[in-house]
Structure 1
Amino acid sequence: MFLNYFKDFSTKKIVKNSLSNVKHSSSDKVIKTIGIIFDESYFYEKEALVTELIKNGIEENDIKILVFKNKIKKNEVFDYPVFSNKDLSWRGTVDQKDVKDFVSEPFDLLINYYDTEKIALLLVSHLSKASFKVGFASIDKRLNHFMIDTNAENYKVFMDELFKYLKILNKI
């Protein structure tokens, strides 16, 4: 118990320090590939969100999902790659292959679909090679290029606002 707390504290410090060195680069790329990071402890409607993306002209093959769960049971089977706090190392890295593959993918858009700060989610979002990151306004402002002020339960509002501003920014 104490070691987990110390590990979280250590990782949080590493992530917060690395966020202070973030340099946002502007990209004029049109969005074709999308990565989504979900926190399954608060939002269960992954398929509905993906359906909204498809309705707005994104190909289903161009959408990749990574799901965070607080606790993963031994015999649990998932449709998407899943990670938890146990996959974090003491040095602020993630050693799981699915997460490494997701992070190294150069998405045109990364949707950080979580509205509570959890160190594992912040770390994976920060490590992502995505050129444009979108998330909620309640998360650290240095992490995302664009923030939407709503909560995770209102996915339709989030998607409407997202695509409204992506059109304004000539990203779609």
Structure 2
Amino acid sequence: MILQGFKQKSNKKYLNSLLDSREVLLNEKKIVSLGVVLNIDEVNDFETFRRLANAIKVKPNKLKIIAFTSNKKDELNSWDVCFNPKDFGWHGKIKNIELQEFIETPFDALISYYTEEILELKLITAASQAKFKIGILQTDNRLNDFIIKTNLKQFNIFQKELIKYLNIFNKIKNE
């Protein structure tokens, strides 16, 4: 138990160093690839994110969705990638190869769709090499470049607002 506390403290320190060193680079490059991080304990409808990707003209092969669960059982592995707290080591070290691949992928946009304050979810969002990070309002505003304040269950409002602002930012392809 004591070691678990030290591990969590080292991961929080790593998270803070990631957030402090992040540089936001805004450009007018269109969104071609999209990553989604969600907490499957809060939201488990992957199809809504596929429809959102289609609405912002991201091709299915350029969409990657990963899910987190605090449940340590591997019963949810029918999704793209499902990870849990055991996939993280000390100092933010990732033990899951697929999760490490997701983090290293330079997505044009990353959507962090969760509200629970879970350190592992924050680590994925902060460590991601995505160029533009989008999320729902959380206690730490440094996690995302663009924040939409909606209730987690109001995905239609989130989608409508996201599309509206991505059009304003000139991030959606006009094909």
TM-score, scaled relative to structure 1: 0.92
For 2:106 and 2:114, how far apart are their aligned partners in 1? 20
Where do 1:1-150 residues align within 5 Å? 1-74=1-74, 76-150=76-150
Q: What is the identity, as a one-letter code, of the residue corresponding to 1:104?
A: E
Could you list the runs of 5+ residues in structure 2 that have no partner in the other structure?
none
**What are the Cα deviations for residues 22-68 of structure 1, in whole angstroms up to 9, with x where unaligned?**
22112221001100001111111121222232134322121101111
User: What is the SS of the residue equivalent to 1:47?
Assistant: helix
Q: What is the identity, as a one-letter code, of the residue corresponding to 2:113?
A: Y
For 1:81 and 1:144, how far apart are their aligned partners in 2? 22
For 2:124 and 2:8, how far apart are their aligned partners in 1? 14
**What are the Cα deviations for residues 45-102 of structure 1, in whole angstroms up to 9, with x where unaligned?**
1212222321343221211011111123145542211111111111112121001110
For 2:112 and 2:38, how far apart are their aligned partners in 1? 7
User: What is the SS of the residue equivalent to 1:20?
Assistant: helix
User: What is the SS of the residue equivalent to 1:44?
Assistant: coil
For 2:16 and 2:39, how far apart are their aligned partners in 1? 20
TM-score, scaled relative to structure 2: 0.90
For 1:95 and 1:158, how far apart are their aligned partners in 2? 32
Could you list the runs of 5+ residues in structure 1 that have no partner in the other structure?
none
CA drift of 1:162 comes to 0.6
Give the equivalent residue in structure 2 for 1:162. Answer: 162
- The number of aligned residues is 172
RMSD: 1.6
Compared with structure 1, are the counterparts of its residues 142 and 161 closer, same or farther at alpha carbon in structure 2 (3 Å cutoff)? Answer: same
User: What is the SS of the residue equivalent to 1:134?
Assistant: strand
Q: Is the 8 A contact 1:110 1:132 kept in 2?
A: yes
User: What is the SS of the residue equivalent to 1:147?
Assistant: strand
